[in-house]
């Protein structure tokens, strides 16, 4: 469980650390737009959620969740992305 939480924290910060679009392609203008970072954040949330669901199914029955669970976990995922966001947009040097 701790490894999954650590992996989720790392995945939440990846869109702000990597300059490649969807971790594959270099952006045309040299810098990745914020919209791409948001898309990657949502995609990584889905991947980590799928991994958690798979792990839960391996150890027992999967508990049904309502929309409140997914909104809360996405909010926690966004909070975990805060250090990467701060490093990318607040602590960068002028002209970068």
3-state secondary structure of 32: coil
pTM, full prediction: 0.89
Residue 16 CA neighbour count, 13 Å, CB half: 19
User: Could you read off the pLDDT of 28-57 as tens digits, one per residue?
Assistant: 888 889 999 999 999 999 999 999 999 999
Q: In this model, does residue 94 exceed pLDDT 70? A: no
- Quick check: 2 and 68 in contact, CB under 8 A? no
State the pLDDT at residue 65: 94
Residue 66 dihedral angles phi and psi, to the nearest 5°: -100, 180
Q: In this model, does residue 22 exceed pLDDT 70? A: yes
């Amino acid at each position: 469980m701790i490894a999954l939480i650590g992996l989720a924290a790392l995945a939440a910060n990846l869109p702000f650390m990597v300059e490649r679009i969807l971790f594959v392609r270099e952006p045309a203008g040299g810098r990745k737009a914020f919209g791409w970072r948001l898309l990657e954040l949502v995609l990584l949330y889905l991947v980590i959620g799928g991994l958690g669901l798979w792990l839960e199914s391996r150890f027992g029955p999967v508990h049904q969740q309502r929309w409140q669970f997914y909104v809360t976990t996405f909010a926690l995922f966004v909070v975990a992305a805060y250090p990467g966001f701060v490093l990318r947009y607040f602590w960068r040097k002028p002209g970068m």
